[in-house]
Each structure stands twice: as structure tokens, then as C-alpha cells.
Amino acid sequence: MKFVQRFVTISLILLPWLCSAQTPDQDAVKQSFIRYKSAILNDNGEEAVRYVDSKTINYYSKLLDLVKSADSVSVEGLSLLDKLMVLIVRHRTPKEKIMKFDGRSMFIYAINSGMVGKNSVSSNTIGEVTVDKKFAKGQVLVNGKKALIFMQFNKEENIWKMDLTALFPMSNMAFKKVIEDSGENENEFMFKILESLTGKKPSAEIWLGIQ
């Protein structure tokens, strides 16, 4: 009887630790985010690209096609985030570089040139992680507090890689709210962003494909 009581007591003491113990995959998911975050903060695109998945690279490939060929009507019809990305790349990147990019190299260039804001990751960590085979989801903590945001990861090449495209719907909604609160129309707001990034006003050519 005493043995049973002792076993129950030990179990109760160990239970919180046992429940919080990380599996190797859960730990690997968190480590991938830590390394990606470090790469972003240090403008290291070559390192950051190791931790984004094929969906993300495919997105940048499609974005590159839009940068090269979309006319003003096509650009106006894009989601807010896609529209801003196309305009930023056209405004900040020499045409010669654009023509040499593929999706992967454009992502690297975006990181190296500071197009991806450090504030998007600087206060963030990954909290609770759930894993289902080769898919994982981790809750984002902002300054240690739970946010209503989850990062999605896919295991590719034996590495847990982030699917940044999973964040786009929420990002579009947040961006739309910011524009509405500013009292400006979309283009006025975006052009102010572009000017603040480079110190120069965008030209009319920004609406044209790369010739």
C-alpha cells in the first residue's frame, strides 16, 4: 500500500514535466523558427531560405512572374499583399537583377536587402507545437504572450520548414485595416511606404512590366 502511495506521489510530481516534454520533432520545429528568425535579423537570405518550404518558394516564383509581366490592370486586381510586394520589388530592384531571378534567389534578395521587416519576427517565439506526420503547427508568442496566430511547418528534405503563405490571409486582413484607419486610398498609402523605403517617389513605370 505504501509503495502504491509513493508511486502516485512521484507520478503527480513528474506529471507536469512529462506533459511538457518536447518530442524531437517539436523541438526541431522550434529550432527551425529560431534559425529563420536569426537569419532575418541578420539579413542573411542564404540561411533564411533553408527554413522556408516549397510553397513559399513557389509563391515567390509566381510573384516574380507578376513583377516581370503584370500590367497596371493586373496589379490593381491583386490582393493587397501581392500588390505591395510587386510594387516594392519594382521600385527597389534594378531590372537587370529581376531578369536573373528565380523564386529562390528573389526570396534571398528580399531578405538580404531588408525587404522583409525585422519587426515581423523580433518579438516572436514559438510556443506549443503539434505535429501530424510531416505537418506541424506552432502557436506564435509575442513577447512571451500567446497570439491568435499559428505558424505552419512542412517537413521537407528532413528539415521542418515554414509555410509563410499560410500567414497571408491574416496579413491581408491586417493590412486592409491599417489602410482603412489611415483614411487614405490603397495607392496613396502604398506609395508612401515605397517612398519611405528609398527616399524617392515611385515613378509611373512602377505600373509596367519589366521590358
Q: Is the dihedral of CA 90, 94, 99, 100 positive or negative?
A: negative
Query: Quick one: cell of 89?
Result: 520589388
Phi, psi (degrees; rounded to nearest 5) at 82: -65, -40
Residue-range domain boundaries for the chain? 23-207
List, in sequence order, every beta strand (DSSP E) within the chain: 124-132, 135-142, 145-156, 159-162
| 43 and 112 Cβ atoms separated by less than 8 Å | yes
pLDDT by residue for the chain (211 residues), tens digit each?
A: 554 454 344 444 444 443 445 799 999 999 999 999 999 999 999 999 999 999 999 999 999 999 999 999 999 999 999 999 999 999 999 999 999 999 999 999 999 988 877 877 889 999 999 999 999 999 999 999 999 999 999 999 999 999 999 999 999 999 999 999 999 999 999 999 999 988 999 999 999 998 6
Q: pTM value?
A: 0.86
| 209 and 69 Cβ atoms separated by less than 8 Å | yes
